[in-house]
Homo-oligomer: A and B are copies of this chain.
Amino acid sequence: MTERLTGVTGRLSKQIAQEILSGRRSLGERLNAKTISEEYRVSRTPVRNALMELEKNSLVERIPNKGFFVVQSLPDCAQGWMESRVSTEIDDYQLLANDWLTDSIPSTVTEQFVRERYGWAKVKAVSLLNRATREGWAERNPGYGWTLLPVAKTTESFSELYRFRIAIEPAALMEPTFKLDRKVINQQRDIQNMILDSEMGSIPDEAILEYGASFHEELIKLSGNPYFLMALQRVNKMRKLMEYKAQINRERLVVNCSEHLEILDMLEQGSVVDASFKLRQHLSKALNRKADKTRTWDETVEKLG
């Protein structure tokens, strides 16, 4: 199979496939190339290539001079094909991050070292180390080499991160530039309800994490202050790194979503102060559960290392 795993085309084919499989694109629906290209802020070329790729896998069909359409009935293998595709694609960044989190590489590395270890080209090594720097767990040494920071792997780190969130998230809601956007509120409410209504375990762990992160990011966006958002996005990236292998507590999930819904209600009723307070409580709870959670995480690390 000639799959493109990197670049815009590869990402698009994966995303569109997910949209189809999750039902966000209905069966038989027309797929307008220009619309999609604008949605993803790219040109039509990679969109068309992605669709042609999906055609090979019988997710879409093509009618000459009319364009692409979602197939009338999904092939049986589709879901499995998608999953295998996602799971095999542990990308290079995760490779490096995992090795660091499991102490498989030393805390100071040279560009050369990672190139040899992973067989990466020069530019690739540099750009991945740069990404790690952007996301806060690496930094360049004055001369040669890079230092990998213990920030995302210690037990304390988890609670430190949550304490930081407690400082910024409730404060963001109290910003003078705060502006309620009912569309955002409703959208988030729908998501939370969807999670509550779903079968236990039907939503993959990664998606749960993603929904959680986006809930908090959308909320902080309402503050109208980009610095709060940027700070949260950054720590969320580190959080994803930390929680990558951690198990999600499915029982907590119900309480979690309910609290999210409560906060949304308060905001909609204009009780911003209450919402801010509730948000603080909500985050504090997660912090207090930390002890158990990080123990599990430590065991996970132990197991892997």
A6 to chain B, nearest CB (A): 13
Contact B225 A141 (CB under 8 A): no
Specify the main secondary structure of chain A where it touches its partner. helix
Answer yes or no: A133 CB below 8 A from chain B CBs. yes
Contact A227 B143 (CB under 8 A): no
Instruction: Provide the bound-state CA to CA distance between A177 and B41, in Å.
Output: 44
Among A82-90, A159-167, A256-264, the stretch that binds chain B is A159-167
Instruction: Provide the bound-state CA to CA distance between A42 and B141, in Å.
Output: 8
Answer yes or no: A241 CB below 8 A from chain B CBs. no
Chain A interface size range = 35 or more
Residues of chain B within 8 A (CB-CB) of A175 are 163
Contacts known (A40-B142, A141-B41); A228 close to B151, Cβ less than 8 A: no
Binding site for B on A (CB under 8 A): 8, 11, 40-43, 46, 123, 126-127, 130, 133-134, 136, 141-143, 149, 151, 156-157, 160-161, 163-164, 167-168, 171-172, 175-177, 225-228, 230-231, 234-235
A118 to chain B, nearest CB (A): 20
